[in-house]
Amino acid sequence: MPPVKPMLARAASKIPPGMIYEAKWDGFRALVFRDGDEVEIGSRSCKPLNRYFPELVTALRAELPPRCVVDGEIVVAREGRLDFEVLLERIHPADSRVRMLAERTPASFVAFDLLALDDASLMEAPTRDRRALLTEALREARDPVFTAPATGDLDLARRWFREFEGAGLDGVMAKRPDKPYRPDERLMVKIRHERTADCVVAGMRLHKSGPVVGSLLLGLHDEAGRLQHVGVCASFPMARRKQLMAELEPYFMDTYQGHPWADWVREEAHAQSRMPGGPSRWGGKKDPAWVPLRPELVCEVAYDHMQGDRFRHTTQFRRWRPDRQPSECGYAQLEQPVTFDVTRMLREGSG
């Protein structure tokens, strides 16, 4: 019975040998509980998701075994590529809009673990056994319910790591074949792509603990020369946050006037350019105010991949780049992954 927290993963830089490998899906982690006509979709934090994905509730009721608990990911694919921005739109307070989006951009569920089947808990069973039971239990499942492709072949996992990024996937997951399922424990391994980019530091937010740097606001120039807000750096030790405050002080602006993102307070401006302070789909409110900086500093950051025109996850600060001009920081420097069709991969790998 819900709530059950999902098993988690720790990060690694290389794909370890001797594991079961899967793609790392870029969507919403979800545990699905089915008991006859009852279907409950729970988020990673155990919040109910049924109201946001009514089309999946219907599909899961039809495609899953009558009594089971399945771990997986909710994703939206468009033109053969996962689209996290479109998925985010589903978290909306208006039921009418959710149902409209359910028809326009329907979601899929990718299953990768089985926690219970019929009256039996499988959480003490090793990963290899749970995987075999999952494959058999979902053998007849149809779109939009899929079984995630998996392999024990390290060379194939390395190829997936290279190829699947072109479909918007997030890397590769590795699981010990002999391990049980442990909620909220980091027994899996996640391997993500990491690249670097030179970005303009055009703003900052204060840390919740006091007057030190909480995050740096990053920008890249588009083809028209406009500075687009593409993400943040936020992971710093407290001592470094204090140092950054002193380093940034000469660039503080008294007002937003004259800043490339000066129009951030106007709702309509966010439809024309990416800038900080836009409404959050999760909370429905504007992000906290930010401190404008003269857009003259350049820093190098590490990132895993892009989602549209922004960094998908929080970037990692690497170093200042005093040798680079802000005008040189554009999208053209970013590496483009090879295109790969996630829809074809799911259908071929779910038999």
214's tokens: 């909480």
* d(C-alpha 255, C-alpha 194), whole Å: 35
3-state DSSP assignment of residue 173:
strand
Instruction: Give residue 43's identity as a one-letter amino acid code.
Output: S
3-state DSSP assignment of residue 185:
coil
β-bridge mates for residue 110, sequence order: 73, 146
Q: Which of 320, 301, 315, 206 is nearest to 252 (CA)?
A: 206
Say if residues 31 and 4 touch (Cβ distance below 8 Å).
yes
Instruction: Tell how far CA 102 is from the center of its chain.
Output: 20
Q: Which of 24, 47, 190, 285 is catalytic?
A: 24
Q: What CA–CA distances, in Å, run from 309 to 88, 262, 288?
A: 15, 20, 22
3-state DSSP assignment of residue 91:
coil
What DSSP string describes 21-76? Answer: EEE---SEEEEEEEETTEEEEEETTS-B-GGG-HHHHHHHHHHS-SEEEEEEEEE-
322-331 b/e (C-beta count within 10 Å ≥ 16 → b):
eebebeebbe
- Dihedral sign from CA coordinates of 284, 288, 289, 294: negative
Tell me if residue 24 is catalytic: yes
Q: In 65-199, which ranges are continuous DSSP H helix?
A: 84-88, 95-104, 127-137, 154-163
How many residues appear in the chain?
351
Say if residues 306 and 337 touch (Cβ distance below 8 Å).
no
Say if residues 27 and 84 touch (Cβ distance below 8 Å).
yes
Say if residues 56 and 76 touch (Cβ distance below 8 Å).
no
- Annotated catalytic residues are 24
